[in-house]
């Protein structure tokens, strides 16, 4: 028996009992039978644009403890940074679909409902609703009580708050479509939105785009950049393989065609334009959320930055042979915490660094004040021109000439010049191992021709090889065996291994004998075996053409023997020794073959040879 049951005739107890039946989550105050509290979720019907005010220079930052459920720098599970214009980015605008709930406290005084109005208290945690809005909502409670003729009004007031919650209580209309909130609330609001979206996501069922099986959201992951959903085991298998093999560009969405821009109408002869390519790889924080092992993610971060340094022509490396680390760069600063720092924040491919030709004129070299470089790994200060220890700005230096290069450096440059083709976008040297001359750069995914390093249209890359005016016309399969391989090595690529030619077929004695002698089995006979010459029926059917057929049979048998000898030579090789033993049973079989009389041979005659 509850406390409300002890007041069966009181209208207040009847109303609270009805409210408890409609909202089971309502909490009754054990110290007072006519007090209750209810938490109302706030989910706007349309996502709400929230602008977090920038902190003033004179204002001290508030000390906040980031929530443990999500990284504060992570773009989150559902919200997206507004990219409508540059002003939106500077004002830190986010789109939220879930807001912290509204806490309603209800107290029904003595004399309610005919004499006294109910007492309501509203609050939000964190306090994202302005005090003026909360006061207006409290006034609505008393107004509704009066409009109902001073009757039971608690359910009406709760329904009124729920309807206003679908429009975020009108705060967006007041501020012109955007809600202005203090920056101190950013982490708490974003964290609440992420957890609410995750709970909703786990309740749904999705079809994985890789294994094509329905999976619950608890074992699935939605990619932040594009929103495609895959099951966690498929993502782990694919991304672990890519990172292990060093293919960091493959750590992106697995959906076919995801991120590809629609082809713009252009003429067939138009040359594709160079443009900055958007990085669609996953962030380290998202890989940890999937989750992947931390060691694997660390390798991913290391390889991703290494590829960016190698693709940058202005990167200078430490001259120490045991170090060879990259020099400190403003474009690619070494992250303090690679797992959380944004590696692409300072990456601007449109700005060219101080690139100079080591064998060029002195006017092309950078000024003396800009020649000092410091290795980010060993802190060695050296000159980026002469690659010696830093000598100061008053010492004139020049790049090492070709005569000063080591034998290893000369051999490397000569090999790259002869057996590689440079990518037309990032200038990375690429070598073809086998196949056609349609290449795809392993760094920037540019399609180009291996013979002339020309850009190829991604939609139809073979148009270049079908153009009569092109120097690569009908040369798609040049160097099919690979570049940089000697002729013997190229032939080895297409040679059938001996293991594939080794087989044992006990039903064919001829093959068994050839195998015992270390020879390949002879090829199938081009002419079917003939019947015994002594058969009367055979002579009768041959008629006058018997002599011609006998000659043809002997020629076919001789051809088969020639083929068998040729394949035996291939089997033994040029330095092979012929077998020394000639067995009588085998010799009789060979004589019968020469005379086209194989059907007279009995396989039991070979038993004496073994």
Q: Which pair of tokens denotes residue 329? A: 């760069």
Is-contact 94 72, C-beta < 8 A? no
What angle do helix axes 11-22 and 154-165 make, rounded to 10 degrees? 30
Whether the pLDDT of residue 3 is over 80: the answer is no
CA-to-CA dists, residue 376 to 314, 355, 391, 483, 503, angstroms? 15, 19, 19, 36, 60
216/213 Cα distance (integer angstroms) = 10
- Domains plus CATH for the chain? 4-55+65-195 (3.10.110.10), 413-494 (no CATH), 505-532+547-609 (no CATH)
pLDDT, mean of residues 445-468: 88
Split at pLDDT 50, 70, 90, the class of 243 is very high
pLDDT at 232: 93
Kindly report the average pLDDT of the chain as a whole number: 74
215 vs 67 pLDDT, higher one: 215
> Which has the minimum average pLDDT: 45-54, 206-215, 245-254?
45-54
| Residues 549-566, mean pLDDT to the nearest whole number | 62
Asked if 109 and 136 touch (Cβ cutoff 8 Å), the reply is no
Q: DSSP 3-state assignment of 440?
A: strand
- Bigger pLDDT: 71 or 342? 342
- pLDDT number for residue 386: 83
pLDDT at 497: 57
Mean local confidence (pLDDT), 438-456 = 86
Q: What confidence tier does 583 reach under pLDDT thresholds 50, 70, 90?
A: low
Q: What are the angstrom distances between the C-alpha of 582 and each of 520, 586, 609? A: 17, 7, 9
Q: If we measure between CA atoms, which residue out of 126, 114, 147 comes closest to residue 12? A: 114
pLDDT tens digits, residue range 302-318?
898 888 888 777 888 88
**The pLDDT of residue 69 is above 80:** no
pLDDT category at 158 given cuts 50, 70, 90 is: very high
Residue 356 tokens, joined = 């100079």
φ/ψ of 123, rounded to 5, equals -160, 155
**Percent residues over pLDDT 90 in the chain:** 14
From 2, 17, 1, 42, select the one nearest 108 (Cα to Cα).
17
Predicted local confidence at residue 265, as pLDDT: 42
């Amino acid at each position: 028996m509850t406390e409300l049951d002890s007041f069966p005739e009181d209208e207040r107890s009847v109303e609270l009992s009805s409210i408890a039946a409609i909202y089971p989550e309502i909490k009754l105050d054990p110290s007072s039978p006519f007090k209750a509290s209810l938490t109302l979720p706030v989910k706007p019907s349309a996502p709400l644009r929230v602008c977090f005010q920038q902190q003033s220079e004179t204002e001290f930052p508030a000390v906040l403890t980031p929530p443990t459920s999500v990284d504060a720098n992570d773009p989150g599970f559902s919200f997206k940074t507004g990219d409508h214009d540059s002003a939106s980015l500077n004002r830190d605008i986010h789109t939220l679909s879930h807001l912290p709930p509204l806490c309603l406290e209800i107290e029904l005084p003595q004399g309610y409902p005919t004499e006294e109005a109910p007492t309501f208290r509203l609050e939000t945690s964190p306090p994202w609703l302005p005090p003026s809005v909360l006061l207006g909502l409290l006034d609505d409670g008393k107004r509704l009580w009066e409009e109902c003729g001073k009757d039971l009004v608690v359910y009406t007031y709760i329904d009124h708050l729920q309807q206003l919650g679908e429009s975020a209580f009108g705060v967006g209309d007041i501020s012109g479509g955007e809600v202005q909130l203090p920056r101190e609330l950013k982490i708490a609001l974003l964290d609440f939105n992420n957890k609410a979206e995750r709970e909703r996501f786990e309740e749904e069922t999705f079809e994985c785009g890789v294994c094509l099986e329905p999976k619950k959201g608890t074992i699935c992951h939605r990619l932040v950049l594009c929103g495609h959903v895959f099951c966690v085991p498929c993502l782990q298998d694919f991304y672990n393989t890519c990172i292990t093999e060093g293919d960091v560009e493959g750590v992106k969405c697995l959906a076919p065609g995801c991120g590809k821009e629609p082809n713009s109408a252009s003429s067939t002869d138009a040359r594709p334009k160079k443009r900055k390519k958007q990085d669609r790889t996953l962030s380290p924080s998202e890989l940890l959320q999937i989750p992947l092992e931390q060691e694997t993610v660390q390798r991913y971060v290391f390889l991703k930055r290494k590829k960016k340094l190698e693709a940058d022509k202005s990167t200078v490396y430490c001259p120490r042979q045991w170090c060879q680390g990259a020099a400190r760069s403003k474009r690619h600063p070494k992250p303090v915490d690679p797992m959380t720092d944004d590696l692409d924040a300072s990456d601007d491919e449109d700005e060219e660094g101080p690139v100079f030709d080591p064998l060029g004129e002195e006017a092309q070299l950078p000024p003396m004040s800009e020649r000092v470089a410091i290795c980010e790994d060993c802190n060695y200060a050296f000159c980026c021109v002469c690659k010696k220890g830093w000598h100061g700005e008053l010492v004139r230096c020049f790049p090492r000439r070709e005569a000063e290069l080591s034998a290893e450096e000369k051999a490397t440059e000569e090999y790259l010049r002869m057996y590689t083709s440079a990518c037309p976008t990032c200038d990375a040297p690429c070598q073809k191992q086998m196949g056609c001359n349609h290449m795809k750069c392993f760094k920037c995914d540019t399609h180009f021709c291996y013979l002339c390093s020309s850009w190829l249209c991604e939609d139809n890359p073979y148009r270049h090889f079908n153009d009569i005016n092109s120097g690569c016309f009908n040369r798609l399969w040049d160097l099919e065996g690979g570049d940089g391989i000697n002729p013997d090595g190229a032939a080895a690529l297409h040679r059938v291994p001996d293991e594939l030619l080794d087989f044992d077929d006990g039903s064919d004695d001829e093959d068994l004998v050839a195998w015992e002698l270390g020879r390949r089995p002879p090829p199938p006979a081009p002419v079917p075996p003939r019947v015994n010459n002594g058969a009367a029926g055979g002579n009768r059917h041959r008629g006058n053409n018997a002599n011609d057929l006998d000659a043809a049979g002997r020629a076919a048998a001789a051809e088969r023997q020639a083929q068998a000898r040729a394949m035996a030579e291939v089997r033994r090789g040029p330095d092979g020794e012929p077998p020394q033993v000639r067995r009588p049973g085998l010799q009789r079989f060979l004589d019968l073959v020469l005379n086209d009389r194989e059907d007279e041979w009995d396989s039991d005659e070979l038993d004496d040879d073994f």
